[in-house]
Amino acid sequence: MIRLDDLHLFVRTAALGSFSNAAREADLLPGQVSAAILRLEKELDIRLFARSTRSLRLTAEGEQYLPYADEVLAMLKEGRERMHGEQTALQGTLKIAAPSDLGRNVLLPLLTAFQASHPKLVLRLSLSDQVTDVFRDPVDIAIRYGANEGATYVALPLAEHNRRVLVASPDYLQRHGRPASLDDLLMHQCLPFVLGGRLYDRWHFPAAGMRRQITIKGTLLCDDAEIARRWAIDGRGIAYKSWIDVCADVEQGRLELLLPEQPGEPVPLNLVCPHRRQFSPAVRYLHAMLRERLLEMSEKMRTYTRYPVG
């Protein structure tokens, strides 16, 4: 039978690269760690490490087995924490990165309320439209738009059926008219986005089972999505925004949804982090709260569109 202590020592030895380092961390002798690995290898009937006098590295079988060992330990930790009612005493620091517009206008009140419910938890929020690298940047999780295809990180869905929508203010539509088709966008003042010095002036739409591209024009450019939204509300042009970003504006009449029969580009919203073992109690409960609220907002798109949502 596999001992949990042996499994833990295997994971830490793989991470630290030597029996000595793993022994020092666990306050054991190197020989005790070596004996634990030998027991585990005997139970599994495979060789986990290739050993020499100067180096220690995982074998091919060891590399294959490591993620399973990680997953077992993470699940046991999660079960222990849940049995001890960790939801009433979340603590530590949770570093979150989110897009500018979404963070300020949607997430901010939700995150503030979440922290107020868990006063021992410190939230550190970073807002930027630059895509956060969850492996290199000093964050625990990121709230991110876009599909997860081919990604190496782990994503938990928040609003998987969210789409972009075309919006403009009543004032703009009164002065310039309402576009009746995608082709009409070419005659309107639009609000393109700048990211990393690149101008995103090509808007994409699903059409007849394909992807249609419209190259728009605009004289107001910004690298902050919040500013594009404000310009749209101020009547300066047509914006192509995530529904979640403009849901409240449409409901309150500051913006109107255009071409309700035309689906916009899918922009699923996810909570992402590098590894599943980083799903701490704070991350799990935050995800559950955000998903509940953001799904409610996403579902409201059905009221304003004439195509199936979901």
| Parallel/antiparallel/unpaired status of strands 121-127 and 92-98 | parallel
| Averaged pLDDT for residues 271-284 | 79
Is 70 exceeded by the pLDDT of residue 276? no
Whether 4-83 and 164-257 share one fold: the answer is: no
What pairs with residue 218 in β-bridges?
none
Domain boundaries, the chain: 4-83, 89-162+268-303, 164-257
Answer for the pair 264, 166: CB distance below 8 angstroms, yes or no: yes
The rounded mean pLDDT for the chain is 89
Least confident of 109-113, 126-130, 149-153, 286-290: 149-153
Is 70 exceeded by the pLDDT of residue 103? yes
User: How much is the pTM?
Assistant: 0.70
Single out the residue of 242, 266, 289, 246 nearest to residue 96, CA to CA.
289
Check if CATH label 1.10.10.10 holds for domain 4-83: yes
Is 60 exceeded by the pLDDT of residue 292? yes
**Domain with residues 89-162+268-303, CATH architecture:** 3-Layer(aba) Sandwich (3.40)
Is 90 exceeded by the pLDDT of residue 25? no
Write out the CATH class of domain 164-257.
alpha beta
